[in-house]
Chains A and B, each alone.
Chain A
C-alpha cells in the first residue's frame, strides 16, 4: 500500500511544474490559516460573555479596590490620596489583628469539621434509597435558605431570651450565655456556620463517591480488605480531587463570612465575633472610611490567593497519584 501510495504520489507529482506546486502550498497555507482564524473566532465568541462578566464584576472591582486603598474616600466626596497610610494603620490596628485571628480560626476549624462531617454523612447516604434521598435534601437545605435567615433563626433559638434559654428558665434553671459571653459566642457562631455549610461538602463528596470505580472496591474486598481499609486505601485516595475542592471552597467561603455574623451577633458581644469582612463593611459603611476598608479587602484577597495556591500545591501529589 505504501508502495502504491508513493507510486501514486510519484504519479501525482510527475508532470507538474514547480510553480504550480508552490501555488498549491500557498493555497493550503491560506486555507489552514483561515481555518485557524475561524476556530479562534468561534472560541472567542463562546468565551467572550463569561470573560466580560468576570472582567466587569471581578477584575475591575479588584483594581478599583486597589486604587481606593491608597485614598481616603468617604463614599460621599471625591477620593483624596492617602499614600500608604491605610496599610500602615492596618499593620498597627489591634481590632484588625483580632479579626484576622478569629477569621483564621473559623476558616481552619470550619473547614476541618465540614469535611469530616461532610464525608461521613456522604458515606452514610451514598446508596440509592428514598431515605438517603430525603437525608440529602435535609443536609443541603440550610445552604439553600440563606445566611441571614439562618442567623435570625438561630439567634431566636440561642439568644438570651431564645427558645433554649426560655425552656431552661421555665424549668427553673440558668440559661446559657450563647451570645452574651465572648467564648460561647465564638463557639456558637462557628457551630452555626458549620451547620449551614457542611451540606455542600456532602453533595460534593457524594459526587466524588460516584466516580470511584466499582471494580477497585470489589478488588479490595476480594483481597480481604476491611471496610475501613477499603475506605482509607481505595476510596479516599481516589477522592483526592474532591478533597482538594472541599478544602479550597470552604476556606475561601469561611474567610469571607459576614451575613451570619451580622444576623447572629452583629459582631458582639463587645466586638468579639467581628470577622475581617465584618470589619471591612463596618469601617466602610458605618465609619465612612472606604479607603481603609479597601486596604483591608486587598489584604484579604492576597491572603485568600496565597492560601488557595498553597492548598492546591500541597494537594498536587495526591491528585497526580490518582491520575496515574
Chain B
C-alpha cells in the first residue's frame, strides 16, 4: 500500500511510503509489526545547517526541555537517552519540564531571560523558527517524517522521530454489538445514527472533555475533509477568498451542535480533564472517543474489560478520509545553544538510532522501516493508516496554537448555548484579526 500525497495535492515532491503490516498468528495480544509509515515529502533546496560533528569530540551537559504527558514521563525520557549517555562518557543530559505555559511558553521566558535550553522536544510553532538551528541537509534528517512541514523559508527547524495520526475513533466493540451496530459508520450521518443507537443502549455515545480536548476532537474530524477539499484553504482564508463558514468546519460544527442538543455527548463534559475522558472510555461508560494514536498506550495500560476497536473519523460524503497527521516527538535545537555540536549529535541519535527510535515507537507512533512489538490495537491503527489515501496536516503558519485555542473556544461555546453558525463566525473573526499567513 502506498501513501500517495502527504498533504493532499500540495506535496512538493514524491511522497512515497510503504506500509507493511505483517501479523504473526498468535493468541496473545502482542505481535511483531513492521510498520512503515513514512510521511516524507522530499524537498530540494533545503539549507544546510552544517555537518554533523565527529563523535570523539563530544562532551558536556545538554539541557533538554521536554513535553510531559501521561505517557511521556521523565522516566521515559531518561530511558530514551540512557544508551547514548552510557556510550558517551562525559555527556550529561538534564531534562527540564515546562511551566504551565507549555514548552513554547517556557522557551519564550527562557529567551527573554537569556537562560535557554539546548534542545526542545515539542511541536514548536513556526514563529519560533528564527531562534532555532537549521538542521543539516543530511540523510538522517531527510529520512525523518514530515520534513517539508518542518521547514520554513528553506530551513528545517525541527526533526520528527515518527509520525502520529489523529483522525481516529476508538470504540467499545461490545457496546456496538449491544446497540446493534453491525457496520462501522463512514459518514457524519451514519456516525450520528450510530451514536443515537448507543445512547438507546444505555451508553454515553461520544466521550468528550474540557481543556484542549473539545476543539482538538473537532479538528481531528474536520481537518481531513477541509484539506482534501481545498489544500490551500488557510492561505485563501487569509486572503479572504475562503471562510470557515463555507468550509467543512461549518458542517462538522453543525453536526456537533446536534450531538450536544440530542445528548449524545455529556453536558458535563467541559468540567472533565483529558485523563477523565480516558477513564470514561476505558471504564466502559462511553462507547466511543475521538483521539490520536497516542491514546493506544493509555488504553492498553488501562486494560479495559471489553475489546477496543478503531475506525477512521467520519467524513461528509462517507469516503475514507486522509489521516490528519503531524510530527511525533520532534526535536529542535536553539541556535544560541552553548553546545550545538553535542545537541546535534544527540538529536541525530534520537531520530535515527534504531534503539532510540524503537523506544520512541512504544508511544504508539509510526516510522517506516522500524519493527516494534505492538499491541493488537496499535496494529489496528496501523491498518487504518494503511487504508487511508494519504495524510493531511494542520495549519502550518504562525499562531497555530492560538488558532487551535480559538477552535476550542468555539466548540465549547456549543455546550453553553451558542449556535454552530455563531461558533464558526467567531473562528472567521479570529482569523481576520490574528492569522498572518
Contacts and interface: CB of A to CB of B under 8 A. Distances in A.
Interface in B149-199: none
B81 interface: no
A269 B416 contact: yes
A180 B105 contact: no
Contact of A159 (B112, B276, B398, B405): B276
Interface stretch (A37-45, A194-202, A283-291): A283-291
Interface stretch (A7-15, A72-80, A242-250): A72-80
Interface string B263-295: 000111111110010011000000000000000
B425 to A, nearest CB: 12
Contacts, number: 101
B437 interface: no
A213 B286 CA distance: 66
Interface residues of B, number: 40
Interface string A276-287: 000001100111
Interface string A129-163: 00000000000000000001000000100011100
Find the residue from A74, A155, A285 having the highest chain B CB count within 10 A: A285
Main secondary structure of the interface of B (DSSP, over half): helix
Nearest to A148: B100
Contacts of B58: none
Contacts of B416: 181-182, 269-270, 272
B111 interface: yes
Contacts of A265: 210
B111 A75 contact: yes
Nearest to B272: A160
Contacts of A288: 108, 125, 127, 398-399, 402
A237 interface: no
A74 B268 contact: no
A285 B112 CA distance: 12
B108 A285 contact: yes
B108 A269 contact: no
Nearest to B403: A287
Given A177-B268, A269-B416, A286 B405 contact: yes
Contacts of A272: 416
A160 B102 CA distance: 24
B135 interface: no
A83 interface: no
A178 B272 CA distance: 11
B210 A266 contact: yes
A220 interface: no
Contacts of B100: 148, 262
A286 B101 contact: yes
B170 to A, nearest CB: 19
B130 interface: yes
Find the residue from B100, B112, B128 having the highest chain A CB count within 10 A: B100
A175 B268 contact: yes
B128 A270 contact: no
B270 A270 contact: yes
A155 B268 CA distance: 14
A177 B269 CA distance: 9
Given A286-B405, A288-B125, A76 B108 contact: yes
Contacts of B109: 285
Nearest to A271: B409
A89 interface: yes
B131 interface: yes
Nearest to B279: A161
B401 interface: yes
A177 B112 contact: no
B402 A76 contact: no
B415 interface: yes
Interface in A258-274: 262, 265-266, 268-272
A87 interface: no
A269 B402 contact: no
Contacts of A179: 210, 270-271
B270 A180 contact: yes
A262 to B, nearest CB: 6
Contact of A270 (B267, B272, B412): B412
B214 to A, nearest CB: 9
A288 B156 CA distance: 21
A180 B101 CA distance: 23
Contacts of A182: 416
B25 interface: no
A271 B412 contact: yes
B211 interface: yes
Interface in A41-94: 74-77, 89
B238 interface: no
B221 to A, nearest CB: 19
B413 interface: yes
A74 B270 CA distance: 30
Interface in A160-215: 160-161, 165, 175, 177-182
B14 interface: no
Find the residue from B279, B280, B413 having the highest chain A CB count within 10 A: B413
B97 interface: no
Find the residue from A76, A159, A175 having the highest chain B CB count within 10 A: A76
Nearest to B409: A271
B434 interface: yes
B28 interface: no
A269 B101 contact: no
Interface string B104-125: 1100110110000000000001
17 contacts: A159-B276, A160-B269, A160-B271, A161-B280, A177-B267, A180-B268, A269-B270, A269-B416, A270-B415, A271-B409, A281-B101, A282-B405, A285-B109, A286-B102, A286-B402, A287-B399, A287-B405
Given A76-B127, A160-B268, A288-B127, 12 more contacts: A76-B128, A159-B271, A177-B268, A178-B271, A180-B268, A266-B211, A269-B416, A270-B409, A270-B416, A281-B101, A286-B405, A287-B405
Interface of A: 74-77, 89, 148, 155, 159-161, 165, 175, 177-182, 262, 265-266, 268-272, 281-282, 285-289
Interface of B: 100-102, 104-105, 108-109, 111-112, 125, 127-128, 130-131, 210-211, 266-273, 276, 279-280, 398-399, 401-402, 405, 409, 412-413, 415-416, 418, 433-434
7 shortest A-B CB distances, which residue pairs?
A160-B271, A269-B270, A270-B412, A180-B271, A285-B105, A179-B271, A287-B402
